[in-house]
Structure formats: C-alpha cells, structure tokens
Amino acid sequence: MSKVQGEARLPRRLVQLYAGLVLYGASLGLMVRAGLGLDPWDVLHQGVAERTGLTIGTVVILTGALVLLAWVPLRQRPGLGTVSNVVVLGLAMDATMALVPDFGPLAVRIPLMLLAVVLNGMATGMYIAARFGPGPRDGLMTGLHRVTGRSVRLVRTAIELTVLVSGILLGGTAGVGTVLYALAIGPLTQFFLRVFEVRGLPPAPSVVVRRRPAGRPARSPEGPAAGAGMPRPREGR
C-alpha cells in the first residue's frame, strides 16, 4: 500500500481501533454482569479487584501497564493500539458496569453472556484489523515465544493457565462462560477479522500457528521466501 493510500485510510482505521476497544471493554463489563464466568485474564482482574477494593476496570489498566513493562526485556515494540488498549479497555469496562445492573434470573444472564462473547469477538476483529499493534498481553506471549523458542501455542497455554489459576485463588469467577469464551472466541475473531479488514493493508495475523518441521533448516532472510513457515502471532489483547 502506498503512503497516500495509507493516509487516506487512517481516519477509518483510527475510528475502527477506538470503536473496537470501547466495545471490547463493554463486552467485558457485560460478562461480569452475566456472572457465568470470565475469560482467564478477567478472572485474574476480578480476583485482584476483590482483594484490593479497586474497580475491575482500574485493575485492567494497571495489569496492562505492568505487562507492558515486561515488554522491555523482551524487546517488544508497542504501537498506538498497544498503549490505547491499556487505557481504553478498563475505562469502557467500568463505564459499562456503572450503566448495566446485575441480573438475577438465569433466563436473562445466559443471553447476556452470549451477547457479550459475540460482541467481544466483533470488537477483537475490529481493533486488530485496524493494524495499530497487539495488546499488551498478546505482546507478552509473542515476546516469550521469540525469546524462549517455545511454540506460541505452548506459551499462550502456559500464560492463560497461570492467570486463570491465580485468578480463581484470588476469588475470580470461572464457570461455563469461561469455557464458552475459550471455544467461541477464535472462530468469532477470524470471522470478524474478514468483516472489518481494511483494504490495502496486509491481512491481519492468523490465529493459526504453523511450526517449521523438525530438522528443516531455516531459510536465509535474504531468500525470496523469507519467513515462510514461521508462526504468525495473533494480535489482540
């Protein structure tokens, strides 16, 4: 894409970035109100909030900032989307929880959880497709993958399990919603990445990880197929 084309699409990308981040934060707030379980990171955020008395949105912001500091030894470079992710998600989450009350009947909470998961997938597709950099938590994953040489799948699983167990021990809510989120977020994100793709930009990173077969030598960076077969990390939160 030429520089002129990039500048022409910049307003659309900025709107898409911040709309996606606001909707992402809103979806997190709806998951909390549904009370049927959160994604692993928000189980941790909720647990810390329960222990400290801070709002969960404030904990999201502080955790994002701490994770971003972990990028320094990993030599990760944040983008506009990375920094915006740290602040906007927590603010939008707290605002949503201030506006939406707790719901008692299960007949209301189940549809609310389904809505929140779909909204989360849509919001993820929106802000990733804007291509302003990964969120702090996914940047931590890709940095550890590069430094340790372990697969993205192994690193991500280790991180998710660690924060989930820590969150449960601190009093965070894990339940059927946690399982639903884990099963649905990948397909939803892939679908909405196509919906919100900005024409002229390189395609958003795939969530499918491909590993170079053992014993096959890496190709030279100068070769015409440099980078072929290497993992394409998922951008996101």
Residue 110 lies in a domain: yes
The answer to whether residue 85 sits within a structural domain is: yes
Residue 112 lies in a domain: yes
What's residue 219's pLDDT? 46
Give residue 114's pLDDT: 97
Residue 17, domain member (yes or no): yes
pLDDT of residue 175: 94
Q: Is residue 230 part of a domain?
A: no
User: Which structural domain, as residue segments, surrounds residue 26?
Assistant: 10-195
The total of structural domains in the chain comes to 1
Spell out the SS3 assignment of the chain. CCHHHHHHHHHHHHHHHHHHHHHHHHHHHHHHHHCCCCCHHHHHHHHHHHHHCCCHHHHHHHHHHHHHHCHHHHCCCCCHHHHHHHHHHHHHHHHHHHHCCCCCCHHHHHHHHHHHHHHHHHHHHHHHHCCCCCCHHHHHHHHHHHHHCCCHHHHHHHHHHHHHHHHHHHCCCCCHHHHHHHHHHHHHHHHHHHHCCCCCCCCCCCCCCCCCCCCCCCCCCCCCCCCCCCCCCCCCC
**Is residue 69 situated within a structural domain?**
yes
203 within a domain of the structure (yes/no): no
The per-residue pLDDT string of the chain (237 residues; one tens digit each, 9 = 90 and over) reads 445 555 658 999 999 999 999 999 999 999 999 999 999 999 999 999 999 999 999 999 999 999 999 998 888 888 999 999 999 999 999 999 999 998 889 999 999 999 999 999 999 989 988 989 888 988 888 888 888 988 878 888 899 899 999 999 999 999 999 999 988 988 998 899 899 988 777 665 544 333 344 444 444 444 444 444 444 444 556
Residue 15: inside a domain: yes
